[in-house]
């Protein structure tokens, strides 16, 4: 029987008692509703082939291949492999793969005109210790902003690009680097829940439109301090067979990046959009 229970104080929900391979529309509705409510949900104990994972993921939107071409699954470009081939030919750990997503809290796909609605991971191998994924609600980040910052940011766009101000582009092929920025509202209204959130990613934002450079840089530092609120988080400890999906429109996340490097931590990953089109970092 399908059961849903909260995992964190305000975010994170756990779903048990379903097999996503055979879920009909009636049973999918509460799964989708829980995801909107909790921002991030885990479905436990799934045994999936890649096609099953892709089919289930399409229920949330359009799957697009991730711009990092070198980490795509060789036979299924829509699947990104996390944690695969993390040692180079000299046996040295490649940090960009081992610590992927661990540089700081972020939202996926802010560098595209249509950013990723959701990211979904399926755990294939899990280390004996560490390797959690941390999440935090940007609804709560918005709610906690002082009135002067809500007023300053509402109706204003941020400029975002892959790699942000540091232009960290190690996972991109040469031909996909250095694309111009795209613009997104800093205070979006969530298209499905109607709630306002802070749309912010310190590793991808370049500047906030209409502000002097100094003011923009200071505000980016300030928002970096404010974005993670007490009790807004959930940390996921992975089990093999977990499917975790988060809503990039209202959540930030980061990998802990702290597991024993000699152990496997492998996920299949998909990037999901509300609609396709717009300018993308890399053509599919």
Ligand X SMILES: O=C(O)CCC(=O)C(=O)O
Q: Interface with ligand X by CB under 6 A: which residues?
A: 82, 100-101, 108, 119, 133, 253, 255, 269
Nearer to ligand X, 100 or 273 (CB): 100
100 binds, among Fe ion, ligand X, none (CB under 5 to 8 A by kind): ligand X
Residue 98 C-beta: closest distance to ligand X, Å? 10
Which span (49-57, 75-83, 96-104, 195-203) binds Fe ion, by CB under 5 A? Answer: 96-104
203 binds, among ligand X, Fe ion, none (CB under 5 to 8 A by kind): none
Nearer to ligand X, 79 or 153 (CB): 79
Nearer to Fe ion, 30 or 130 (CB): 130
269 binds, among ligand X, Fe ion, none (CB under 5 to 8 A by kind): ligand X
Instruction: Look at the block and give the residue holding tokens 């796909």.
Output: 109
By CB under 5 A, residue 201 contacts Fe ion: no
Gap between the Cα atoms of 65 and 174, Å rounded: 17
The rounded Cα 68 to chain-centroid distance in angstroms is 15
Nearer to ligand X, 123 or 232 (CB): 123
Residue 166 C-beta: closest distance to ligand X, Å? 16
By CB under 5 A, residue 39 contacts Fe ion: no
By CB under 5 A, residue 203 contacts Fe ion: no
When CB distances to Fe ion are compared, the closest residue is 101
DSSP bridge pairs for 64: 271
Nearer to Fe ion, 4 or 109 (CB): 109
Other C-beta atoms closer than 10 Å to the C-beta of 131 total 24
Strands 182-185 and 157-160: antiparallel
Q: What share of the chain is helix, strand, coil (3-state, %, to 5)?
A: 20, 25, 55
Other C-beta atoms closer than 10 Å to the C-beta of 70 total 12
Buried b (16+ CB within 10 A) or exposed e, 132-149: bbbbbbbbbbbeebeeeb
**Quick one: DSSP state of residue 164?**
G
Torsions phi, psi for 14 (to 5 deg) = -115, 135
Which x/- pattern, by CB under 5 A, does the window 99-118 give for Fe ion? Answer: --x------x----------
Nearer to ligand X, 207 or 242 (CB): 242
Strands 157-160 and 243-247: unpaired
Site of interaction with Fe ion (CB under 5 A): 101, 108
């Amino acid at each position: 029987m399908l059961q849903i229970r909260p995992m964190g104080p305000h975010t994170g929900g756990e779903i048990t008692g379903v097999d996503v391979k055979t879920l009909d529309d009636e049973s999918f509705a509460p799964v989708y509703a829980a995801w909107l409510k909790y921002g991030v949900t885990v479905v436990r104990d799934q045994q999936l082939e890649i096609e099953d994972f892709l089919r289930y993921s399409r229920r949330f939107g359009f799957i697009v291949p991730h711009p990092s071409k070198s980490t795509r699954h060789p036979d299924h470009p829509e699947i990104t492999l996390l944690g695969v081939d993390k040692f180079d030919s000299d046996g040295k750990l490649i940090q960009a793969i081992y610590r992927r997503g661990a540089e700081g809290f972020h939202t996926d796909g802010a560098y595209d005109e249509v950013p990723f609605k959701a990211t979904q991971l399926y755990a294939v191998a899990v280390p004996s210790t560490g390797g959690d994924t941390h999440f935090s609600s940007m609804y709560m980040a918005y709610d906690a902003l002082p009135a002067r910052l809500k007023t300053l940011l509402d109706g204003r766009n941020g400029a975002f690009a892959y790699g942000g101000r540091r232009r960290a582009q190690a996972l991109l092929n040469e031909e996909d680097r250095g694309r111009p920025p795209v613009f997104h509202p800093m205070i979006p209204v969530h298209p499905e829940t109607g709630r306002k959130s802070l749309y912010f990613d310190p590793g991808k934002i370049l500047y906030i439109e209409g502000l002097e450079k100094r003011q923009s840089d200071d505000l980016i530092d300030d928002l970096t301090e404010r974005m993670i609120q007490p009790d807004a988080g959930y940390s996921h400890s992975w089990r093999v067979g977990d499917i975790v999906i988060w809503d990039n429109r209202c959540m930030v996340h980061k990998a802990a990046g702290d597991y024993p490097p000699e152990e496997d931590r492998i996920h299949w990953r998909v990037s999901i959009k509300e609609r396709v089109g717009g300018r993308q970092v890399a053509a599919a």
